[in-house]
Amino acid sequence: MGFFKLEEHGTSVKTEFTAGFTTFLTMMYIVPVNAIIMSKTGMPMGALITATALITIFSTVLNGLWANTPIAMSVGMGLNAYFTFGLVLGMKIPWQSALGIVFISGIMFLVLSFTKFRVWVMQSVPYDLRRAISAGIGAFIAFIGLKQMGIVVNNDAVLVGLGNFKDINLLIGVLGLIFVFAFYAWRVKGAFILAILFTSIVAWVSGIAPYPTEFLSLPASISPIAMHLDVTSALKLSLLPVIITFLITDMFDSLGTLAGVGFRAGLFKDDSKELQKTLEVDAAATVGGSLLGLSTTTSFIESASGVEEGGRTGLTAVFTGLFFILTLFMMPLFSAIPENAIYPVLVMVGVLMFTELSNINFKDPAIGVATFLIVIMMPLTYSITNGLAFGFLAYLLIKLLKKEFDDINIGVIALGAISLIVFIVH
């Protein structure tokens, strides 16, 4: 396998195969989870399952061949929830227009990935604010998961309250939380998909949800969602902050993931060719995903599981992508999974993203206030965009008040100006 330079990276086909299968197990959950989340927009479940599997196969194999890195890609958790609950259900934007927003942000990311803009962004935005964005999105999607499970409910007196724990569906969700917490704590490979499976079996056996009548079938057509994006309606000034939100969130998410996985694998040194090419695939996959009818595609931190198994080259990613072909034929099984077996995974993913707070320097008042506002305002306003706007404006304001002008650059000013637009056009 001279193409992948296995000997140079100190690995073998067997090791890469094992690593690819490990990554597949740890992120297989994304196919049913993403389909259930995005189906809330009115998009058909079957088409979403097929499209999610296809973009995962395409982007992951392409990254293996183009960038030769062990990074798997699929529809990003967080932005898919924002797409569904923030834009379509919250802002009442048609899903076709929301796909147009994803497409535009993907085109911008693709163009910028071939320039030095990435380096400029990395130098402009403090690491702590990037970590705060990750933690804020974690709080946001965990809140969505808890709300969809019925653990958090509407309360006219105090906005939100505790759900009815006599509801059997809620208890299935609680059981799902116990499973996912336990499997994660025990470091079980494929913890998420196993938690979903075990919770579903309990729901099926107890009669809470119907058994799947079959387990395998031919893939559903993606024609109901593919190429249905509406780019024209997304080209509005009022939607510019949302487009920028998708752009910078995808960029920071990708850079954070690649930095974390790359550190373990000894990859991605400063401005490396491999990093550049992986970001190019990431951006191209977002564009391709929007054409298929999906939210933003991004690099998956679960790739770290394959790296831990010894995966060091693109052959790991190729194997991972090929394993995802299996999911194309699993629609009956995925469709039979009860929703409250899925939403506990959102909570656990939120927990993992929220841990980024441990690395933030709260001794800096600007960072402390900005981080707090980002984390608290995303779930409270049901909007990643609003959380970013509050955070960046607070950071800029406190730095100005303290006359710490060395910490203010063009990037921070630009993001502050975009944040102002959020409130002006709201």
Angle at 55 (CA atoms; ends 54, 61), nearest 5 degrees? 90
Among 99, 108, 63, residue whose Cα is nearest residue 276: 63
SS3 of 43-64: the string is CCHHHHHHHHHHHHHHHHHHHH
Reported as a single tens digit per residue, the pLDDT across 186-213 is 999 889 999 999 999 999 999 999 999 8
Residue 177: count of CB within 10 angstroms of its CB? 22
Task: Confirm if 346 and 81 have CB atoms less than 8 A apart.
Answer: yes
Residue-wise pLDDT tens digits, 355-367: 989 989 999 999 9
E strands in 241-387: 297-299
318: left (phi over 0), alpha (psi -120 to 50) or beta: alpha
* Mean pLDDT of the 380-407 span: 93
Tell me: the pLDDT tens digits for 223-248? 999 999 999 999 988 898 999 889 88
Mean pLDDT of 293-319: 92
Is the pLDDT assigned to residue 121 strictly greater than 80?
no
pTM reported for the whole predicted model:
0.88
pLDDT in tens, 325-346: 999 999 999 999 999 999 999 9
Distance CA 145, CA 384 (A): 15
77, 249 contact by CB (below 8 A): no
